Structure 1
Amino acid sequence: MLKNYIKIAWRSLWKNRFFSILNIFGLAISLSVAILLITYGRQELSFNKQFQKEANIYRVLLESNGENNYEKWSNLPNAVGPAMQDDIPEVKSTARLVRLDFTGFGSVRANDNNFIEKNIYLTDSSLFNLFDVEFIEGNSITAFSNPKNVVISSSKKNKMFGTEPALDKKIIINQRDTLNISGVFQDFPENSSFEGDIFLNMMDSWMGKNVHWSNASYYTFCLLSTHTDPAQIEKKATALIDKYVPKDNQYFTKFYLQPLSQVYLRSQDLRDNMSTREGNIKTVKTVFFLSFLIIMIACINYMNLATARSQKNAKEVGINKVLGAHRNQIKFRFYIETGIIAFLSITVGIILALVALPTFNHIIGSGLAVPHLFTLENIGICLTIWLIITLIGGSYPAFMMANIPSLSLMKNIITQGKIAQYLRKGLVIFQFTCSIILIIGVIIISLQMRHISKKDLGYQPTNVVTIPIRSVPSLDNLKNIKESIQKLTGTVSIATLQTFPGFSESGKTMHKPGDTNEGLPINTSSSLGAVVPTLGLQLIAGKDLPGVLAPTDSTCYILINEVVAAYLGYENPSDAVGQNIPTEITPNTTIVGVVRNFNFHSLKESIGGYMYYRMRNPNESYRYLLVRYDTQNVSSYITQIQQLFTQQVPEAAFDYQFLDEHIKKYYTAENRTNNIISTFSILTIFIACLGLFGLAAFTAQQRKKEIGVRKILGSSTFKIVQLLSGHFLSLIILSLFIAIPVAWWLFSHWLQDFNDRIAFPLWSFAIAGLFALIIAFITVGYQALKAALINPVESLRDE
């Protein structure tokens, strides 16, 4: 029996090849997109779940006080971890990490070669056991048993030493520290938040030995006993603040525990996240929603197209019923037919997914590989999708044809009840409501991202290259490098800084003179001279930082922004110039200039206080050269800088980064969402049009004789096209009215993530509606025109 049903279904599909190909093609595209999106979403959700103790590992966060806007920070003082382990019995182990020189960047000399590494950390030895680090040379027990030991990843070992064993070999970091390799570990998986490639022993450095509750620069993880309530540990950890920190120094008020599984996807609201591997739970939800939406629209399309096609099989079904076929057998036949189409569609969809995988990775910035598509979970998902399409997609034509009387089928008279008509209209409205919402979303997100790219940040990040200089051994070498670069054709100006916008490093508190209770949190950067020309800051009062200081000059000269000037009580910025303001750096501090506010962080954040300072022998070292250039041949210019750098520092590696490219990284998640919604909105609209095409074909088939009569009675082709199209266009207009409030609510909330955002453009509703109407008219108009041009004799002939 089943074999016969399959034969009948296959014969029907072959007989109606056009509709069959349309169905399979539409479903295949939908499924290929859904498979890729679901695979990507699952990969995002898998982050940090491979560690054996993952369920009991938490990252410790702090909440700052009111002066610091109650922000959540991922970095803590280095005393927090040891205090939690000593004072809270449920905390079995802790591990701290801090980036080398607070940046993680360093020049490494190994095997007489120089390498730039960007993921160098100092850590506790407990890290290796906490996160199941697998050693292929050495072991976790002896990794930090001796001073100046270092462990490196397998990939870095291969890069530096090739196939030779690395154990007990030496490396030199930034020409300062000669270290002994005591272990080589397997690289952390790509779906983990850990990027560390080189780990130094924190306890062999002042960063581990000098335990303090002040500087918050350390990432801290803790392992809790099984079945421990994290909320109770948070209360106990928070109590440590009053125990160890004097009230006047409590710039943080609470500790939080963030589950390890949430570190990757739920850290966008944190200041200074630990890893560049940062996802967004909103993006994952968007991906799964689009997957569900695409599958639903695919099912709707199938119902529309299958019903239109079943009209041609009406007599065949009628004969089957006359010959004794039961209603369930008729239903089963259509389910078999749907199952075959769904199976072929999934097969084609998987092939399309494989072909589209590189393009998909490029669009959303993922690193999916072919094995990710063929996991057991994905196979199970594909089988589930096949079952959903078969049951949902096949239900409407199966029940419709099974319930129509045999005589009506034999005469090819298929009428729809009100429920069926409302269902069809509802499906069309649903499809185009979703499509219009997505179109509006594309407009809003694109406008906001364009606003960000065109926004005046208060400085000029274009045509600026940043060069790490921690490997430069002396100020004399640095001076020679700067003088050589300044002589190059194309060099405009050079600044020597501790940090640069988009890479905050030092946080301090500015106090009003004579007031020690209230303070303004500010970001600071030490500077070896002028900074305004290179960064393109807008000086509104005073002058730039001095380039040369007298040997006996003990003054700290500061350049502040408008936020700091206003806080200090100077309504006119020029009144601030020359004032002596005590700071945490030194009591002898003089304001030399005021610059216009600039976005040193993301546009998602409000502009805070900022201060550049210049003094002799600052505690915070210079880490970067910033070079502003004006040349058409940028690659040649960078090559010349590299040659000059290598001549002065032959035993250090050269590295650089363009400032504007660094700033763009702030908006990786938003750009990814933009790419996802833009690309897959187009596909969703295309798939929805296939469904509308099928519905128009069904309507034209139903009204075939009516069209013939109207043509004989003198109706023009235009009138017939208008008759068939008007009904659908009214449904699209209704979809627009439903979509507008939903889209306004959704994307108004999305815009709230940005402190600097566009006003919601109401004209986007009109554009989206017009676009939907145009594509709907083209889709329906084709079928309407095709029906209107049929010879009325053919339409009225009774087969």
Structure 2
Amino acid sequence: MFKNYLKIAWRSLKTNRLFSIINILGLSVGLTTALVLFLFIMQEHSYDKMYANKNKIYRVLLNTTDEDKETWANSPSIIAPELKSKIPEISKAGRILKNNFGETAFVRVKKGVFAEEKLFWCDASIFEMFDIEIVKGTGGENLNNPNTVLLSESAASLYFGNENPIGQTLIVDNRNRFEVKGVFKDFPENSSLDFNVVTPFMMQNAAKNPTWDNASFETFVLFNSNTPNVANVESLIQNIVDANVKKEDQWYNFSLQALEDIHLYSASISDSYLTDIGDVKQIQNLSALAILILIIACINYTNLITARSQKRAMDVGVNKTLGASKGNLIKRFYIETGLITAIAMLLGVVLVTVVLPIFNNIAQKNINISALFTFEILGFLMLIWFVTTLISGSYPALYLSKFSPKEVLKPTRGKAGVTSYIRKGLVVVQFSASIVLIISVMIIHQQLKFIKNKDLGYNPENIIAISISGIRDGEANKALVNAFERLTNVSAVTRSQGYPGIGVSGRTIGKPNSNESLNIQTNRAEYNIGNVLQFNLLAGKLLPKIKHPKDTLVEVVVNKKVVDFLELTPEEAIGKRVDMSLGNNAFITGVVDNFNFESLHSPIGAYAFHNRRSEAKSFLLVRFQNEILSETISNFEAAFKSVATNSAFEYTFLDKNIERLYKKEQLTANVGLLFSIIAIFVACLGLFALAAFMAEQRNKEIGIRKVFGASVMRIISLLSVDFIKLILMSLVISFPLALYFMNNWLQDFAYRISISWSVFLIAGVLAICITFLTVAYQAIKAAISNPIKSLRTE
């Protein structure tokens, strides 16, 4: 019996080729989209699952208690030994620090100098907690000894080629000499941790003299149990803080984050050295998008079945007259749907192999095609096949099969009306979803354009930041500044600890005669910082050009946010001493207007430039004039190499760095645009088939109208107007939905656009045009056909 049903289903597909092709194409595109997004979602959820202790490892988070209430991934250096020694539930604790608080390291070996982005200082316990595999030499125990280093396989190959790396020497930042003791296996792509070079944290001053105030170290703890009482441990941590830090100095508290939550639940956490961060909201949105596109494809199938319901009803009537039961017909219709879905699925798998590289390029991922052939994916395919068959086949299986032969062979007008309403309702649902996607993509692109063009309070254009952390000689640094100042297209040069867009030193500033404090970013800089960044000076003056080595005065230039907090005017603030961990001789010498030194997700915070000799000036900032970029970079590299012969030329442009702050939003826009086009394409497939069916159903009516003088345009408008009405209904439904969703999305930005009515107008016109163009072919074809052919036979 099953074989007979299969034969009937196959004959039905061949008999109605246009509808079959559209059904299969629509379903295959929907399945391809769902499959690609599922591969992406599965990869995102796979992060850090490879570690044996994954359920026992937690990261210590610091939560500030000031008015901004931020959450940091970094914590004080003392927290790891304190938790290890005083909380019995914790068996191990370890700290990691990216080179020089997040800067590029310069590694010198016999082959030359390499810029290394992934050099970390780690406690030996980190290797034990994460069971990092050693492939050559010895492992994490070496981190208990100074001047030893562990390399990843790729780093060892890069630095030493085919030579045995064990026992080799490398020099970091022209300062520290290390001996290679071991080589570890490269971290997988779905690991939050990713080291190339690991040096002993014990060599850091923070390990020798741990404190509660410098929160610059990422800390991990290992519990004894797979199910630790996190709330209880967090309260114990607070007890430890209370015992060691005065209440007035407690500008933070601590919480714990599970290792498996780090990748997807850290989008709002700042100051992390782990840069491969996802976003659970993006996963939820893409999951909804995959389901939406699949539903649109299923709606197409149901729509076309309802369109052909009269013909199928006759088939049902004949079969029931000949003795077929309702159960037999249900099985038959589900088998037919299952066959179409199976064919669509096979085509979808083929399409995935074509689409996946394109998706990887757009989403900046590296999902391997081999992931398509895992048990999880095969299970997902079976589930999708079953659900799609169930959803798409429900109408023909359950609705048509229940008719009696009398109802079917002599149908009433009421039944035709039911199927007509079902078709119209499904079209409205399809296009409502598509229009919401169109509006969403437009608003996301408008917000990104707003971000790109917003006045940040300084000018990031034509500024290059060159890393000079590998140059330790003060005279060489001065010579480097002089070398760049002599270049003809350079207008200003300065050295600084950092620049807007990257983290610098986090401190707190206190208000006189009050317990209030405010988090502030402090950046050690030189006098020319104002000419390079071109911000607006409101009062006072910038940092002095010459500062005597024995001068203990610390000049500070703050932004307006600081003086507002101090309840002073910019003019009143000049000469005032400030309490911000810069010593007792720190005085405000200048006030600049507020500027956005972080992404526009956050409101403007407190910021200060100073000249205290507390942090290294790791960057050379150069403002240059717009000329041929390749020649400019060549000239800059030559000037750099003329002074820094033992350091690599590593640079970034400030405007490009700002763009990286919105990488997630740009990816969302790109992926959203791609899948919005797919959703609209699938919806239009169904619309095209429905237009063909309606033209066929009204063939004789069109012939009669033409005989009585109806024009081609009249016939086209006759066939198109019903669809246009449905799209107008879709607009009424989709506009408030899109407004609600996008208002929520924009809430993540402190600075955002106002949603304009023009977006809805453009989306509406676009939807109507797409609809008209989709049905125009069938309408024109029917309008220019010979009426004699349609009226000749019954």
TM-score, normalised with respect to structure 1: 0.94
Equivalent position amino acid for 2:770 in 1: I
Which residue pairs with 1:488 in the alignment? 487
- Distance in 1 (alpha carbons) for counterparts of 2:695 and 2:142: 77
- Distance in 1 (alpha carbons) for counterparts of 2:66 and 2:575: 30
Consecutive unaligned residues in structure 1, runs of 5 or more: none
- Distance in 2 (alpha carbons) for counterparts of 1:240 and 1:421: 71
Which residue pairs with 1:535 in the alignment? 533
Equivalent position amino acid for 1:727 in 2: D
Which residue pairs with 1:237 in the alignment? 237
Which residue pairs with 1:70 in the alignment? 69
Q: CA deviation at 1:424?
A: 2.3
Q: CA deviation at 1:234?
A: 1.3
223-232 or 701-710, larger mean C-alpha shift: 701-710
Q: Deviations over 1:750-792 (max 9, x none)?
A: 1110001111223322222222222122223433443444444
Which residue pairs with 1:344 in the alignment? 343
Q: Deviations over 1:696-721 (max 9, x none)?
A: 33333444444444444554444444
2:130 is the counterpart of 1:135: no
Q: Deviations over 1:276-297 (max 9, x none)?
A: 2011111111111111011111
435-444 or 382-391, larger mean C-alpha shift: 382-391
Equivalent position amino acid for 1:22 in 2: I
383-392 or 709-718, larger mean C-alpha shift: 709-718
- Distance in 2 (alpha carbons) for counterparts of 1:414 and 1:686: 33
- Distance in 1 (alpha carbons) for counterparts of 2:651 and 2:664: 24
Equivalent position amino acid for 1:30 in 2: G
Is the Cα–Cα contact under 8 Å of residues 308 and 694 in structure 1 kept in the other structure? no
Which residue pairs with 1:36 in the alignment? 36
Which residue pairs with 2:18 in the alignment? 18
405 and 784 in structure 1: CA distance in 2 versus 1, 3 angstrom threshold: farther
Which residue pairs with 2:98 in the alignment? 99
Is the Cα–Cα contact under 8 Å of residues 497 and 526 in structure 1 kept in the other structure? yes
Is the Cα–Cα contact under 8 Å of residues 230 and 257 in structure 1 kept in the other structure? yes
Matches for 1:138-177 after TM superposition, within 5 Å: 138-140=137-139, 142-177=141-176
Is the Cα–Cα contact under 8 Å of residues 139 and 181 in structure 2 kept in the other structure? no
Which residue pairs with 1:630 in the alignment? 625
- Distance in 2 (alpha carbons) for counterparts of 1:770 and 1:631: 41
Q: CA deviation at 1:418?
A: 5.0
Which residue pairs with 1:296 in the alignment? 295
- Distance in 1 (alpha carbons) for counterparts of 2:566 and 2:256: 36
Is the Cα–Cα contact under 8 Å of residues 144 and 202 in structure 2 kept in the other structure? no
Is the Cα–Cα contact under 8 Å of residues 76 and 216 in structure 1 kept in the other structure? yes
Identity of aligned residues (%): 40
Name the SS for the 1:81 alignment partner. helix
Which residue pairs with 1:553 in the alignment? 551
Name the SS for the 1:600 alignment partner. coil
Equivalent position amino acid for 1:192 in 2: S
Q: CA deviation at 1:360?
A: 0.9
Which residue pairs with 1:47 in the alignment? 47
Q: CA deviation at 1:552?
A: 4.4
2:694 is the counterpart of 1:695: no
Q: CA deviation at 1:553?
A: 3.0
Q: CA deviation at 1:369?
A: 1.6
Which residue pairs with 1:376 in the alignment? 375
Is the Cα–Cα contact under 8 Å of residues 104 and 120 in structure 1 kept in the other structure? no
655 and 646 in structure 1: CA distance in 2 versus 1, 3 angstrom threshold: same
2:646 is the counterpart of 1:642: no
Is the Cα–Cα contact under 8 Å of residues 107 and 471 in structure 1 kept in the other structure? yes
Q: CA deviation at 1:178?
A: 0.3
- Distance in 1 (alpha carbons) for counterparts of 2:465 and 2:327: 73
Which residue pairs with 1:743 in the alignment? 738
- Distance in 2 (alpha carbons) for counterparts of 1:197 and 1:515: 49
Which residue pairs with 1:564 in the alignment? 562
Name the SS for the 1:76 alignment partner. strand
TM-score, normalised with respect to structure 2: 0.95
Q: Deviations over 1:410-447 (max 9, x none)?
A: 78999735543433222112111111111111121111
- Distance in 2 (alpha carbons) for counterparts of 1:582 and 1:315: 88
728-737 or 655-664, larger mean C-alpha shift: 728-737
Q: CA deviation at 1:313?
A: 6.2
Name the SS for the 1:604 alignment partner. coil
Which residue pairs with 1:600 in the alignment? 597
153 and 726 in structure 1: CA distance in 2 versus 1, 3 angstrom threshold: same
Q: CA deviation at 1:630?
A: 1.3
Is the Cα–Cα contact under 8 Å of residues 327 and 403 in structure 1 kept in the other structure? yes
- Distance in 1 (alpha carbons) for counterparts of 2:62 and 2:140: 31
Q: Deviations over 1:271-319 (max 9, x none)?
A: 2133220111111111111110111111111122344456566666655
Equivalent position amino acid for 2:41 in 1: G
Equivalent position amino acid for 2:230 in 1: P
Equivalent position amino acid for 1:606 in 2: P
- Distance in 1 (alpha carbons) for counterparts of 2:608 and 2:87: 39
Equivalent position amino acid for 1:589 in 2: A
Q: CA deviation at 1:667?
A: 1.0
Equivalent position amino acid for 1:549 in 2: K
Matches for 1:151-300 after TM superposition, within 5 Å: 151-226=150-225, 227-252=227-252, 254-300=253-299
Equivalent position amino acid for 1:50 in 2: M
Equivalent position amino acid for 1:39 in 2: L
Equivalent position amino acid for 1:38 in 2: F
- Distance in 1 (alpha carbons) for counterparts of 2:256 and 2:510: 31
Q: How much is the aligned-residue C-alpha RMSD, in angstroms?
A: 2.3
- Distance in 1 (alpha carbons) for counterparts of 2:709 and 2:638: 85
Q: Which of 681, 684, 690 is matched with 1:686 structurally?
A: 681
Q: CA deviation at 1:375?
A: 1.9
Which residue pairs with 1:390 in the alignment? 389
779-788 or 628-637, larger mean C-alpha shift: 779-788
Q: CA deviation at 1:599?
A: 0.5
- Distance in 1 (alpha carbons) for counterparts of 2:190 and 2:312: 52
- Distance in 1 (alpha carbons) for counterparts of 2:396 and 2:790: 24
2:658 is the counterpart of 1:659: no
276 and 307 in structure 1: CA distance in 2 versus 1, 3 angstrom threshold: same
Equivalent position amino acid for 1:532 in 2: G
714 and 324 in structure 1: CA distance in 2 versus 1, 3 angstrom threshold: farther
Q: CA deviation at 1:400?
A: 4.7
Matches for 1:770-789 after TM superposition, within 5 Å: 770-789=765-784
- Distance in 2 (alpha carbons) for counterparts of 1:190 and 1:36: 18
Q: Deviations over 1:585-634 (max 9, x none)?
A: 1322343322111101111111111111125xx01111111111114222
Q: CA deviation at 1:330?
A: 3.4
Is the Cα–Cα contact under 8 Å of residues 22 and 686 in structure 2 kept in the other structure? no
767 and 665 in structure 1: CA distance in 2 versus 1, 3 angstrom threshold: same
Q: Deviations over 1:343-394 (max 9, x none)?
A: 2211221222111222111212211121122222112111222222222212
Which residue pairs with 2:722 in the alignment? 727
